A and B are shown apart, each in its own frame.
Chain A
Amino acid sequence: MSATSAEPLISARNIVLSYGAVRALDGVSLEVPRGAILAIVGPNGCGKSTLLRVLAKLADGAGRSGEVAIAGEVAGDPSSLTKLRAFVPQRPEVSADFTAREVVRLGRHAVGANEAAVARALDAVGLAARADLPFHTLSGGERQRVSIARALAQLDNTDTRAGSAGVLLLDEPFSGIDPAEVVRIVQALRARATHGAVVLSLHEPGLARAIATHALVMRAGKAIASGPAATTLTAEILTAAYGHPMVESSAWLVPSLSAGGSIRS
């Protein structure tokens, strides 16, 4: 698994996944280079979330074919897989009365307790000061950041020679999140991408263009375009994806992703 920097962190070939007669994914291939933030974009129900779960090796069972390699590993031995990728769902769920810090600690379950890694992760998402509040008392955006911190703590191998080069996969991390919170999450993701890579599904193509380095545009279970974000997220390609004319516009008000905006809440 000695991955060189040229080798993609994730490479998926010809992924097909069917639920009965329905083909959720129909021959999707993609590569996630090291350092990339790759956005999966497309209309509702086009297979974004399903693809993300396949890439995270969370979707298995019947009706699936194709191959996903993470850092060159295809087999997906569970213990090494845990160090290579972490998944953040659209709605993080915690059914017990844990504090934010306790939830982040859960990320270390299979990779070894490490309070320093937990503290680093909480710091990276700007929640160090609120870490001992019950998860249930946090806002939607904060919960999302706790889940991201849990994933960051899981991928934190900075104490070992392996470094921390895993992939963070997020399903629609910005749905129902206010703009200032979006910026905080984006900052955490950008920091993450410098070590490994980030893959996320997005239903907002404008946001994808603002934060992603690479993109994959989907329609009905197929990838209709992929590559660098600038050449992939064009009005033409997105028009084809959504089946509705998309135009360039400066009429939308968007949060500044560069200026000020301390990550501390």
Chain B
Amino acid sequence: MTQRGFIVLVFVIALAAALRVAIGPAAAADGSVHLALGVANGEILALRTNAALSAGLLGCVLGLSGLALQVLLRNPLASPFVLGISSGAGFGVALVLSLAYTLSLPAMAFGGEVAGAVAGALATLAIVAWLGRAREGSDPTTLVLAGVIVGAIFSAGTMLLEQLVPHGLRGDLLSWMAGRLPEIPSRAAFWTLACAAAGGWITLTACAGALDVACLSDDEARSSGVDVRRLRAMLFVVGGTLAAVAVAYAGPIGFVGLVGPHIARRLVGPRHAALVPASALAGAALLVGADAARQAIDLGTGRLPVGVVTALAGGPAFLWLLRNRARSGA
């Protein structure tokens, strides 16, 4: 079953990437623009291939982040959003961008945005973990509630910032907040994303066995020889940092981190040795597919944020999964 699952994932990624590369606008004789499928040439082909690649990497990062947080919270409904990490990271990025604009700093390389996002994400984690702490470790329910509230506060903060900055930047911030893949990412941004994907993949795969054991209660996991506290600290940092990098790269993109690991579970089962790579691949398939759909809808004008597509498709898909879960009693 595991092998077939991976074949399905790779096939879907290949199909989605092919569509993403092939879909483009074509002008008719009357000047109207319509959708066309075909092999673009030269620069356009390179541009679209890069876009598919960066969407795939971002999907990996989101899928891995979601999986890390789901194990951390022992709750398969968790995601970077539930913990408020995305909102915190978003606030960090918005703050850095507004400061840079207000103080007329030279155009920031990606480093500024990543720094803002990671600071925002880790600050959120620290606050949420502190609020969610219990007598023994942390209580998943309290943690989620704390995450939702802290996330709402940071989102409000981002909107406030938006009102305080001049019109020029306001538009940028607004569209960024909806989740948008950069048309032409800087080299720094692209490589940061690639390193995050590889680092998350390797770290989580390396402790796949412990992640399996962490699905037991804390006492059982500790009795079985897993240092649960250390594992959770690792999951906090990995899950949080991956979410931060994703937000810095493309703004908060919802549902990929949530739905990706679910699809992976259905395809390859619950063991993390397979689930870690499968979650990354499922995230990639989802985001490349969503970006292809976006391209088909906005015809390459880049007006539609991909976050809108992931929410429209991922939201109902998640509800369907939820309903199936409830029915199967799993």
Give A103-116 as 1s and 0s: 1 = Cβ < 8 Å from B's Cβ atoms: 10011011100000
Distance between A106 CB and nearest chain B CB, rounded to angstroms: 5
Which residues in A have their C-beta under 8 angstroms from that of B74? 93, 95
Interface size class of B (residues with CB under 8 A): 20 to 34
State how many angstroms separate the Cβ of B314 from the closest Cβ of chain A.
21
Given A95-B74, A109-B209, A137-B329, A53 contacting B225 (CB threshold 8 A): no
B213-246 interface bits toward A, Cβ cutoff 8 Å, 1 = contact, 0 = none? 1011101101111110000000000000000000
Query: Across the two chains, which residue of chain A brings its CB closest to B270?
Result: A96
Is A92 in the interface zone, CB < 8 Å from B?
yes
Q: Is B315 positioned at the interface, with any CB of A under 8 Å from its CB?
A: no
B213 and A58: CB pair below 8 A? Answer: no
**List of B residues within 8 angstroms of A93 by Cβ:** 74, 216-217, 220
Q: Cβ of B225: which chain A residues have Cβ within 8 Å of it?
A: 78-79, 81-82, 109-111, 154
B76 interface neighbour in A95, A109, A136, A154, Cβ under 8 Å: A95
Q: Which of A92, A97, A111, A134 contacts B220 (CB 8 A)?
A: A92
CB distance from A229 to the nearest CB of B (A): 25
User: A89–B217 contact, CB under 8 A?
Assistant: yes
Whether A96 contacts B224 in the complex (CB less than 8 A), given A109-B210, A134-B330, A137-B329, comes out as: no
Q: Are A106's CB and B223's CB within 8 A?
A: no
B212: Cβ under 8 A from any A Cβ: yes
B215, A136: Cβ atoms closer than 8 Å: no
* Secondary structure type dominating chain A contacts: mixed
The closest CB in chain B to the CB of A153 belongs to: B224
Q: Within 8 Å of chain B (Cβ to Cβ): is A102?
A: yes
Min C-beta distance of B206 to chain A, whole Å: 14
CA–CA, A56 to B136, complex, Å?
15
In the complex, residue of chain A having the shortest beta-carbon distance to the beta carbon of B228:
A58
Interface residues of A in 49-99 (CB under 8 A from B): 53, 56, 58-59, 78-79, 81-82, 85-89, 91-98
Asked if residues A82 and B215 are in contact (CB atoms below 8 Å), the reply is no
Question: How far, in whole Å, are A109 and B330 apart by their CA atoms in the complex?
Answer: 24
With A136-B329, A150-B224: A96-B212 Cβ-Cβ less than 8 Å: yes
Which of A78, A86, A137 sits near B227, CB closer than 8 Å?
A78
Q: How far is it, in angstroms, between the C-alpha of A151 and the C-alpha of B213 when the chains are bound?
A: 13
Instruction: Report Cα–Cα, A154/B226, bound state, in Å.
Output: 12
Partner of B216, one of A56, A81, A94, A111: A94
B175 within 8 A of A: no
Distance in Å: Cβ of B203 to nearest Cβ of chain A: 18
Is there contact, CB below 8 Å, between A89 and B220?
A: yes
- Assess whether B329 is in contact with A106, with CB atoms less than 8 Å apart: no
Residue of B nearest to A105 (CB): B212
B56-70 vs A, CB cutoff 8 Å, 1 = contact: the mask equals 000000000000000
User: Does any Cβ of B come within 8 Å of A252's Cβ?
Assistant: no
Q: Shortest distance in angstroms between B207's beta carbon and chain A's nearest beta carbon? A: 11
Q: Can you name the residue of chain A whose Cβ is closest to the Cβ of B73?
A: A95
- B interface residues, Cβ below 8 angstroms from A: 74-76, 135-136, 209-210, 212-213, 215-217, 219-220, 222-227, 265, 269-271, 329-330
Q: A87-B219, A96-B212, A109-B209 are in contact. List 9 more A-B contacts (CB 8 A).
A: A82-B223, A82-B225, A86-B224, A87-B220, A96-B270, A134-B330, A136-B329, A150-B216, A154-B223
